[in-house]
Structure 1
Amino acid sequence: MTASAVSLALLATACGSSDSKGEAKADAPAAAASSAAPAAKGKTDAELAGVIVKQADLPDHLVKEATAAEAAAGATATSDKPDCLPLVKAQSMAPVGKAAGTARTKAVAKPKDGGAADTPDAKMKAIMDALGANATAVTLSSYDGKGAEEAFAALKSAGTSCAAGYGVTQDGESAKVTKVAPGTPVTAGDEALAYTVEADSDGAKISTQLVVVRKANTVATFSALSLSGTAEQPKAVVDAQVKKLG
């Protein structure tokens, strides 16, 4: 559906200030300390790179860092309905709104072939299992101040207002999302939500599982698809990532 989706599919195949008047002096120190408390600072790209899931965190997956081209393509993603842009960004490995830092990776579930593919039939089964494997795009976006709460709220609102679908354009390619429905509930982080996003791309029906988790001032998005057409919610990837966020 998007450049990041195509990349995942290929990977799956491969395997204030204080009171100025100075009144109530006795309480001034406490009041000043409270009003002068700095706003939360978001993590940088480098800091997020240190907490995003790696191969060691997901032994049953093939983990590969997202490319600069994929990040650039996500930045160009647009929608014919402005209210739906947060969903487009979440599925394109791009931050929702202005983030202080971003990190991206991809994780593909390894096929459970039950043994070595040493016969033609076994090799064919291994290939078909790989084609049907869940491929998940993981994006961490961290924000200053209340940015993370605002990004999460935008995604929550979009899930309702865009339930009937919307158009997507990214990197010169277009697709039509036909439905956004609630996914299997997720309990993680400070708040979480899940959607099943159905789309039509060049006649192909694609069902994507989108999970969003906010932990403090960082928002993690997980967009899972499968070449078989129906993806499963990437619970193992979500659990491993949330654990690393603390």
Structure 2
Amino acid sequence: MHRTAVRRTAIAASALSLTLVLSACGKDDSPAKDESKDKTASSAPAADSEGKALSQAELDKLALAKGDVEQHEISKATKADLAGTDGASTDKAECAPLADVMVARGTAKPSATSVVKIMAVPEAPAEDASPEEKAEAGLSALGATITIDALSSYEGKGAEEAIAAVKKAGADCAGGFTMITGAEKTKITKVETGSYTGGDEAVAYTFAMDLGGESSTGHLVAVRKGGTVAAFYSMSLAGKAEQPKAVIDAQLKKLG
């Protein structure tokens, strides 16, 4: 993939800087077990189902953390990672809820949002692997699926309204739209209905994108659990991402 296409993919998917994405791709060891995970998980509240939004601190405890998903690197998104997401837009107003998920910006008006970055980590080659096998493993790491997981908490019926907005946008924008982030414009040529079942309700889509003449595939999944919405957008620097089912399942399990 050309460098320009790689850069556009990173921007369209999550507004992460290319440096951070490539840094994540360079890691070849499995995530270490987070010794505080069990304590954090046991003290975290379940996703509220009675219309009261969770606080930022409560939501942060429910977000995936290092060690929660095997063979995945997980880290909390920083302000620098998400810089510029407020200005992200689309050429069609009806597609805005899809853009919200793509740039990890809570759809509608959440009371709080917590964002983490997740990357699948391929198995490292054996110590006695040939140079060709090691090179192939390196390319596999660069093509691993990168996912942005944004948890958003809502008051009242806000979470249901957020899922409804994403569903409507998927239907309205099936023919595609243009994602605009600063001076960058990324063409989503098709939005197709995907498949994921979980939580109280879920919606999934597969995006076909044209990145400067190169095709790319992304996956969007949004799941509601009570008053909390977990929204995922996945990409790959190689152009073809996989739906991160293990990641989504792990996040729902943590929501309770």
1:210 aligns with 2:220: yes
> Quick one: distance in 2 between partners of 1:157 and 1:105?
26
Deviation at 1:229, TM superposition (A): 1.2
Give the AA of the match of 1:244. K
List aligned pairs for 1:83-122, cutoff 5 A: 83-116=94-127, 119-122=130-133
Partners of 2:207 and 2:218 within 8 A in 1 = yes
Give the AA of the match of 2:224. R
Give the AA of the match of 2:251. Q
Deviation at 1:117, TM superposition (A): 6.9
Change (3 A) 1:71 1:6: closer
Give the AA of the match of 1:208. G
1:220 aligns with 2:230: yes
> Quick one: distance in 1 between partners of 2:179 and 2:128?
40
Change (3 A) 1:11 1:97: farther
1:201 aligns with 2:211: yes
> Quick one: distance in 2 between partners of 1:98 and 1:147?
8
- TM-score, normalised with respect to structure 1: 0.84
> Quick one: distance in 1 between partners of 2:84 and 2:150?
14
Match of 1:156 among 167, 186, 195: 167
Per-residue displacement from partner, 1:133-189 (whole Å, max 9, x unpaired)?
111110001111111111100000011000001111113321111100011x21111
Give the AA of the match of 1:245. L
Match of 1:136 among 128, 131, 147: 147
Partners of 1:174 and 1:201 within 8 A in 2 = no
> Quick one: distance in 2 between partners of 1:89 and 1:116?
43
1:63 aligns with 2:69: no
Tell me the percent identity: 44
Deviation at 1:14, TM superposition (A): 2.2
SS of the aligned residue for 1:57 comes to: coil
Partners of 1:11 and 1:135 within 8 A in 2 = no
Deviation at 1:216, TM superposition (A): 0.5
Greater C-alpha radius of gyration: 1
> Quick one: distance in 2 between partners of 1:189 and 1:67?
27
Match of 2:179 among 160, 164, 168: 168
Match of 1:190 among 200, 206, 209: 200
1:13 aligns with 2:21: no
Deviation at 1:69, TM superposition (A): 2.3
Give the AA of the match of 2:204. A
- TM-score, normalised with respect to structure 2: 0.81
Partners of 2:16 and 2:82 within 8 A in 1 = no
Q: Which residue of 1 aligns with 2:190?
A: 179
> Quick one: distance in 2 between partners of 1:6 and 1:131?
16
Per-residue displacement from partner, 1:48-107 (whole Å, max 9, x unpaired)?
110111112112101122120232322211011111000011011111111100000111
> Quick one: distance in 1 between partners of 2:81 and 2:16?
10
